[in-house]
Structure 1
């Protein structure tokens, strides 16, 4: 069996509008100017506390925790109003890969487990992923802990695993775990950043990504 591990935000779901709005709410609550959109999106992929620390390095831990709390509250409410959509072709890709008897699909994300479970329920993805690794249980990407856990818990090894993600953090995590990394061009880091971080390829769309994963799987 081979293991295909997916990031979520910027890879499977287009959550940038909700992420930016929620971060704005967190900064508003503490009276700080919200970082601009490109800066916020550059931190997508990190766990929330790490992202806030990157965006507000000059304030103390208590203020950062208030930003985090404001973000979580706003994101949870926004997710109820409208769940971020899957990218075009994502569902077809997941269905095609999960139908193969030689592949296992997993998730490794900076989201909380609650957020991942909500995404899975909203988009009818129950049963697609055999393993979920989230920021609740691991240090932030690019630390390889969550990817290594996914490999261990599914009984695989690094040489038979691939990480799919849209940020340099995903590719760096893959490299640190000894796993090949496939980047996607529709997310929050550009192709040059992905390649510099070690991406073996950068897929322009989901049909191409699906073909490349199946070519890798043999």
Structure 2
């Protein structure tokens, strides 16, 4: 079986919190809702949009969550269209980690709460598109922590649970990995704390980007 390194995107590969926070804030302002703190917004990064809105406004009805999610998408697209999106930089050292893991025979995939369009934009902006064999997004799967993204990625990559590592910065990533029976490797530079990741079932947590390589098979 092939070895598959499956990465989350936001908070793991790229730092996208500025755009996510602004889009949520603008959406809530449009609906005259109390704007969540940025810490609260970072806590829902990784969930699919409807589930994220439900977490931020649990007292609202399901139809309102759907409306908020749709308006968030429109807000984000407007930001992209008018050129006001902030840069979503790769975390320093990510390319070097990919180089080392690729040389060691790992295949790469992404499992993200982003849309197909959003993920394609980020990967293309950093010249990473050709490096990822399998791309799983919220457009085609239930929200994390459902294991569907990982299961489809393994099928496309010819990998098995015992040869797959899910790498992510949120509790949802760790729970998704556990639900799929794969190894769960947390990263400490994203949007949930190392304690959160361990509590959600992380087998290990890398505190620095270069630590990832040595922890992949540890």
* Deviation string, structure 1 residues 33-84 (Cα, Å, up to 9, x no partner): 1111111111111111110011112223343233222321232344443331
Gaps of 5+ in 2: none
Q: What is the SS of the residue equivalent to 2:173?
A: helix
Equivalent pairs counted in the alignment come to 214
User: For 1:40 and 1:169, how far apart are their aligned partners in 2?
Assistant: 14
The residue number in structure 1 matching 2:134 is 131
The residue number in structure 2 matching 1:73 is 74
RMSD: 1.4
User: For 1:156 and 1:91, how far apart are their aligned partners in 2?
Assistant: 23
Please give the residue correspondences for 1:63-142 in structure 2 after superposition, counting only pairs within 5 Å. Answer: 63-79=64-80, 80-81=83-84, 82-100=86-104, 102-142=105-145
Gaps of 5+ in 1: none
User: For 1:196 and 1:125, how far apart are their aligned partners in 2?
Assistant: 32
User: For 2:138 and 2:87, how far apart are their aligned partners in 1?
Assistant: 20
In the alignment, is residue 201 of structure 1 matched against residue 166 of structure 2?
Answer: no
CA contact (8 A) 1:2 1:104 kept: yes
Q: What is the SS of the residue equivalent to 1:31?
A: coil
Hey, which bits of structure 1, 4+ residues long, moved more than 6 A? none
The residue number in structure 2 matching 1:28 is 29
